[in-house]
Structure 1
Amino acid sequence: MRFAPPVRRTPRETIVPMINVVFLLLIFFLMTAQIAPPDPFDMDLPQASEQADLDGPAVLWLAADGTPALDGVTGEAVWSALAALGPDVALSIRADQALPGVELARVMQRLSGLGLRDVQLAVQP
């Protein structure tokens, strides 16, 4: 009895190399991404007609009740941390729009007393 020769099938394309590349890209992006810490307060920034680019490496957060935060430090310890920054450091202030203007003026006066000269206020357009 003669059998017909078996039909030769072309091998399937394997997707394993593509999966490997996807996982390598995922690992690469996770390793190179900068994961930002969460904001210390929930806040709404004040409204403005234009938004300037903030270039300050230090960010002072001010809650609606006037509580300050800087790099994970909150309360009165913030002022000693700000004094340690030095006068040449650019400081960005992210203040809640519900913060009274009088309180913001007090903070600005205290920053001036610490010798900080380059202070910017963050707004949203």
Structure 2
Amino acid sequence: MTPRLLPDRPRRPRPEPVVPMINVVFLLLIFFLMTASLTTPAPFDIAAPEAPGDPDKAQRDTLYLSAGGQLAYGEQRGAPALEAAAAAGAVRLAADARLPAAELARILARLSAQGAPEVQLVTAGGH
């Protein structure tokens, strides 16, 4: 028998393959990104009035009306927001439930006077 010149090295265990796990994580990430519904946040808090039926999904082309009478449409605020919403055609109006009815009627009259063919009032789903 010949003597060994080098001592036996202890064998290291093979590392677990990480690539399949990374692939699964990326597939899940892509799945959630593709199925997610991204909406723009409202410019201010609004408590929508309740009505029976399914709640509408918020859209980018919504005219927001706060309890204090502030208007917002996209990046525009105040009277220009009202004009831009009326010019866009059918208007989705998300008005705060605490807004006085007289103020809501005034805004609806202004929208009608500026040529809005239809106004849809966004409500919270109720029973």
Give the TM bin, normalised by the shorter chain: 0.7 to 0.9
Alignment CA distance shift 1:32-1:41 (3 Å): same
Match of 1:66 among 66, 69, 75: 69
Alignment CA distance shift 1:62-1:37 (3 Å): same
Alignment CA distance shift 1:46-1:59 (3 Å): same
Which residue identity lines up with residue 107 of structure 2 in the other structure?
Answer: V
Shift of 1:28: 6.2
The 5-angstrom pairing of residues 94-113 of structure 1 reads 94-113=94-113
1:38 counterpart SS class: coil
Match of 1:38 among 17, 24, 41: 41
Number of matched pairs? 121
In 1, distance between residues paired with 2:62 and 2:20?
44
In 2, distance between residues paired with 1:25 and 1:56?
26
1:120 correspondence with 2:120: yes
Which residue identity lines up with residue 119 of structure 1 in the other structure?
Answer: V
Q: Gaps spanning 5+ residues in structure 1: where? A: 2-10
Alignment CA distance shift 1:21-1:51 (3 Å): closer
Shift of 1:13: 5.3
The 5-angstrom pairing of residues 16-95 of structure 1 reads 16-27=19-30, 29-30=32-33, 33=36, 35-51=38-54, 53=56, 58-85=61-88, 89-95=89-95
Shift of 1:52: 6.3
Q: Gaps spanning 5+ residues in structure 2: where? A: 2-13
Normalization by structure 2: what TM-score? 0.72
Contact 1:54/1:92, CA 8 A, preserved across alignment: no
Which residue identity lines up with residue 90 of structure 1 in the other structure?
Answer: A
Tell me which structure has the larger Cα radius of gyration.
2
Detail structure 1 runs of 4+ shifted over 6 Å in the superposition: 54-57
Which residue identity lines up with residue 79 of structure 1 in the other structure?
Answer: L
